[in-house]
Structure 1
Amino acid sequence: MIPAAPSVSLTRSEFAAVRAYVQGMPAAMVVPRYLSDDTDDDDAGAESALRILLALRDRMVQLAHLHGRADLAELLLAGPGRSNRGMDRRVDALGELERLGTAAPQPQHSVELWFAPALARRLRDANIVTLKALLDLANRRGTAWWRAVPRIGALAGTAVNRWLGEHRTVFKGADGAPLLHAHVGNRAPLQPASLSPALRQPLPLELINDAPAGDGHTARTDACPYSHGVAVVKAWLRAATGGHGSTFAAYRKEAERLLLWAALERSKGLSQLDLDDRQAYLGFLASPEPASRWCGPRAPRHLAGWRPLTGALSPPSQRHSLRVLAALFRWMHDNGYPCAARWPAQTDADMSAAPAAKAAAPPARAALPDDSIAAFLSWLASQAEASDGQRYRAAHAAILLLREQELSLDQLSSATLRSLSLAGPADGMVVESAPLGNPVDAPAAASGLAPATRMALARHWLDRNLQWGGPCMEDACLIGPATAPPTGRARRKRAAQPLGGYSVRGLHAVLAATLARYRERCDPAFAARSPRDLLA
């Protein structure tokens, strides 16, 4: 299905045909005279001719709505004129429409005017009533906006994205600024560049050129402060995280934001930032401006659509950012790198606000009642019996393993039979990796699990086409998707890690959706609102 409706452009012959029809000429005479060609069937009946004319009339009604002329649309919908005055009014309406010509899409247009009925209905069901609402959604979520709209897939989403891109210059606000942000759909690759106040747009850390920073004690003081700061950050990331993993990604995100903000907004290098800059940076995280430069939906880091932020950070996220940056400045000081001031994780101003924040903080999670969690697990087990219950089976196995082994979501996403066999007791378990060369007896590794957990894992592995307890399965992630999503990134990940599991975010989404369905269908008062509540 082509989601976009055909272009509403009409020829002079088509206007002439409808003009003759509204003046009372029979449809069987209008079509052969104005619309026939050598390939038409001369024996076409009156019913077929009327259907052709009514389809043309409907396109003209749509054109009138696109121009904001509901009065012309009502006249055409009323049918042929019953008097000379009625005929004249319809003929004048058609002449006005012909002068207006092909309409351009406008933000206030309803989605029905530009998209096929099925697509427009699904957009409206998601409260996307106008093109402006669609543009706002695309600005927030990028070209993957369609994932937030039920029953719209990648094919329709791609076609709509292409249509939005073709009309990018048409959609403008009252001030003349484009309504579709420049980074949305921008698939151009980013080019490496040096960090400076003249940088045209923020770049990921790996695309920022750096100069050698020395060992800290022998670093040249006349070196470029921007490039020197990039080199220092890369050295800190290697020392603190080993240059890979989720901790590396989290630290890199905070450090590159600071480097970019210091250069583009303060015209300073990392070593030149003082405590006044710290306070200004905290305000920037709470309200990143200009938003067109700093904020945007998630995008691959190598494409021009990438931005350092998706929006303003919440107070907890701001505090986390400052803790990470305090560790960076402490490392710089300890290793002899120059810095104007050591940024603390918390200042006196932060401390004065702490009691109020503490009072407003939600109470600690209480343990779920045994009968409540038993009812939830019973419902989950019954849902897992269905032939299409792969996600329920994954959630059932994950929750049993979480509660039995007292794992975090991060630990569970990478847990394998090998890590279970090397971990300590359940009350202090830490999932750790083992050398791949050491064989592990899979049945022995799983023998410490409860029978219900083993059964749930075996059924989940069957969905993944894996043999529970089979040979060479000790390094397979215990919980993983049964099928890869139909995206290039998912296919590449599956090809690189055929035995890999869910990401932390993906696992959280599966469990959160399961909890939401249980509260909706069975127990709205169920205390677990988040997967982490199941650990209490």
Structure 2
Amino acid sequence: MTQALLNLDELALLRGWLHGLPMEALADFCGGDSPAPIIEECRTRLILKARRLQMAWGTGWLERGLPADPLALALRRIDVVQAAEDIVPGTAQPLAYWLRDNWLDKLAPLNLVTVADWQQAYQAAVGKTWWDDIAGLGSVTAKAIETELAGHFLGLLVKAKPPVAVIAYQTAIVPLAHFLVPGAMDGSAGNNRSPHSPFIPASDDYQALQCWLARLAPDSHTHRSYRREAERLLLWTVLVKHKALSSLDMVDMGDYRLFLADPQPAHLWVGAPQKKGHGAWKPFTGPLSLRSRRLSETILNSLFTFLVNQHYLLHNPLQALPKLKNPNSNRPLDIHRSFTEEQWQLLSGFLDRSQALSDGTEQLKWLRTRLLVQLAYTTGLRLHELANVTLGDIEIRQRQGQTQYWLTVLGKGQKLREVPLPLSLYSLMLDTYRQLTGTPLGRAAPDSPLIPPLRGPDSNCLTPLAIHKIVKEAFTLAADHLAAAHPETAEKLRQASTHWLRHTHGSLAVDRNIPLTMIRDNLGHSNIATTSYYVHADDDARHGAFAEGFGAD
């Protein structure tokens, strides 16, 4: 049995429109909504099916205000098209069978004739969207075209899988997954190996490292941090010390401490941030600060303690080293790495103007950047938390007669917390997501990232490194724009990173008299003493008092 193109309500609406009923009366068929888009959709379906059935009726047979005889003919033709068996979709058929005329006009620059032609263009778009080079075709219309064709052609949007990359294992400065440990340094006979059978399934150092990492969630920030430190240590151990990781002793770890402070030769070990697997990837972006070195040793101490407890190592080579002293231990937060209220307003205004004055792909970039910056500022999320936020993390609640919007965040130590979303931010999220993807926020898959990519499937998450680069680029452009009129703000923007937005959130929240306990919960601090460093009032008052008391000397 042929499935009707239009249901009874749609038929009644279309017939009423053809008979000249006012649009206000037709709104009753649409639950009070505007009937115009529904009427246009119904007309398009009928016209395209008539075209597929090769009905020689021209283009004006389904217009409003026809005289009595043509109107009666149009109504009969609707019944004919409704009842007729549709053709079986095939990719060799003309695109004109399936797409409305105004969409075909936008696709004209590509000279596409058949559905197969469009599919070829879609498949060929690697590293960019298939509509990038079509002037006047934006993401909303492009996504609508994809949805329309996918509704008729099952599997049309499934891209051919690229050939499986062959990993070239090397004994060189490469990521851990590509590193080849020489047999003589694999640790199967390391000097520090325990005489007991290990509790973990590891016969060499590489396997032992993998067992240690396997305890952690693969996509978590903790896993990335731990893998990075294990990677650096193993590379240095084999390539610099020429020994097995399970042969390291206290002297070696002292040497490694010095190496972290100044990785040399720099041209081998240091480079700009790159994705793993990129030819220019390096383990370091520069010498590690004291704080970063302390963190590295904390993580490696965890590694060695685990291996000792699992009877893989005999002792922990870090244990005998004195701990690195932190001269700033009484001041764990550098709260001055943040923006003032005025500086934030300048940055926010620049983002708004940049988005409003751009178009096409450039406007989409600014839309995404503005959402990223506003989300980081308004919620105080950490970089890795921003990268992991999905649509399913958003919750809408009705409380005390008001609608509340909340975001569930998986933070440090795999701890969940809930962060409130002000209505202004939620509205920006709704509008921006629709413009970037062509899909309303409430209709997208729950596991889709809140910050979608500009290319490829909407399900692809941005990495923390990608977000860092997007925000840094925006800050640099803002600094260039503001340099003449606001040099101090421009200088801060050139130094700033994504984490400055988190500090700005905490600092301005205190200035706006939000209780410290609430700020602590928003930021995910385990101790309110950390949050209290955002309180500037005592410092400001003390500076003012002494400036007044001794300023005349």
Q: TM-score, normalised by structure 2?
A: 0.46
Higher relative contact order (Cα pairs below 8 Å, separated by 6+ residues): 2
